[in-house]
Amino acid sequence: MKRAKIKNAKRWVIKIGSALLTDDGAGLDHASIDAWVSQIAELLAQDKEIILVSSGAIAEGMSRLGWASRPDNIHDLQAAAAVGQMGLIQAYESSFLRFNRPTAQILLDHDDVASRERYLNARGVLQRLIEMGVVPIVNENDTVVTDEIRFGDNDTLAALVANLIDAELLVILTDKDGLFSANPDVDASARLISEAQTADSSLDKLVGESNSGLGRGGMITKLQAARLAASSGCSTLIAGGRNTNILLDLAQGQAKGTLLAANQKPMAARKQWLAGQLQVRGDLILDAGAVDVLIKHGRSLLPVGISSATGDFQRGDLVSCKDINGVEIARGLVNYSYADTIRIQGCSTGSIKDILGYKVDAELIHRDNLVLSR
């Protein structure tokens, strides 16, 4: 997608981060919320379809509870989310009602995307809300989620939502003006990167960890989110949320922020779901031949191509397929448990029954249940 084509993008996912929403921790910034909502209302009037992914529940809860720093205790975080979510949604609802726009709160957790049935249910309700003219406001369900099963940040959640509802554009509003050639906080010569391809490996060295004590993201998570969104053909714009009328300017194709264009053919819906899975239960180390078969020929992974395996996975679990250097090549749903995999690794398909006493599938991972990482 080029800048000029952004005007034609109908379905947007807009993500707003905690530092913006809470004025760097000073409580909800109602004036900024009203400004973003006014712009979204204008986009809706232009026949755009908008899904809003909003951070800020924990940060707002911290402010309401008088906490100066983000707690480490999981129950304190959950309590802060429960308190803050009330104010966050109330602020959005009140602001959208100025334009007679109804809103809906959607709280998701990892299980909602890990389960294919729940994934499709979430997709269905989001689609229906859009058809009804309702603005879905999505957040991670921080009141029940734990570190082991969380999305990690709302950049990832926004990308998954973009895949879920086949969005054409993901807009990530942040406290920076976009992706820079160096850290603009310490390097005055840093230049804004206006456009790039999501798969451009040179971008990896430009991103770093977040300096914010409020959110969990940083530019590295935004780049990862852009690559995840690209699996469904969705391009990503990273832009400064404090810039006046930033959403309307982007909608006009103005050269603001960083456009990370999706440069790959959209995956099939099932493979998009697989790409969004976060809980990997084990690793399979592939020999050079198996790596070649997966990348160049798009075939299934057979036991003969496995050099070793680690983890505690069962049939149907998600595993990571890596080359001998530990670089992830693909992910997929495995047909055999770890115990059985180590018995048949390196062996031909024809010998599976002789070794195990049974044969469920000829493939260790069928190509329909496998998605390349790059």
Q: What is the reported pLDDT for 51?
A: 98
Q: What is the reported pLDDT for 242?
A: 93
Q: What is the reported pLDDT for 209?
A: 47
Parallel, antiparallel, or unpaired for β 49-54 and 11-16?
Answer: parallel
Task: Provide the β-strand partners of residue 166.
Answer: none
User: Percent of the chain beyond pLDDT 90?
Assistant: 51
Render pLDDT for 202-217 as a digit per residue (tens, 0 to 9).
Answer: 888 777 544 443 344 4
Task: Provide the β-strand partners of residue 54.
Answer: 16
In terms of Cα–Cα distance, which of 43, 64, 62 is closest to 52?
43
Please, what are the domains in the chain? 3-272 (3.40.1160.10), 280-372 (2.30.130.10)
Average pLDDT on 138-157 reads 69
Render pLDDT for 252-300 as a digit per residue (tens, 0 to 9).
Answer: 999 999 999 997 777 776 777 777 666 788 999 999 999 999 998 889 9
Backbone angles phi, psi at 194, to 5 degrees: -75, -45
Lowest mean pLDDT among 65-79, 156-170, 279-293: 65-79
Render pLDDT for 233-247 as a digit per residue (tens, 0 to 9).
Answer: 899 999 999 999 999
Lowest mean pLDDT among 136-140, 188-192, 346-350: 188-192
Q: What is the reported pLDDT for 243?
A: 95
Q: What is the reported pLDDT for 215?
A: 40
Q: Report yes or no: 158 and 225 within 8 Å, Cβ to Cβ.
A: yes
The confidence band for 144, taking pLDDT boundaries of 50, 70 and 90, is low
Tokens of 275: 């790409």
Question: How confident is the prediction for the chain on average, in pLDDT?
Answer: 87
Average pLDDT on 172-197 reads 88
Q: Cα separation of 315 and 318, whole Å?
A: 9
**Residue 310 pLDDT > 70:** yes
Parallel, antiparallel, or unpaired for β 306-311 and 282-286?
Answer: antiparallel
Higher pLDDT, 203 or 341: 341
Q: Report yes or no: 242 and 275 within 8 Å, Cβ to Cβ.
A: no
The residue type of 183 is: N
Render pLDDT for 258-269 as a digit per residue (tens, 0 to 9).
Answer: 999 997 777 776
Q: Which residues contact 139 (CB under 8 A, 6 or more apart)?
A: 53, 54, 55, 56, 57, 85, 88, 105, 106, 107, 108, 154, 157
Q: What is the reported pLDDT for 213?
A: 39
Q: Cα separation of 30 and 209, whole Å?
A: 28
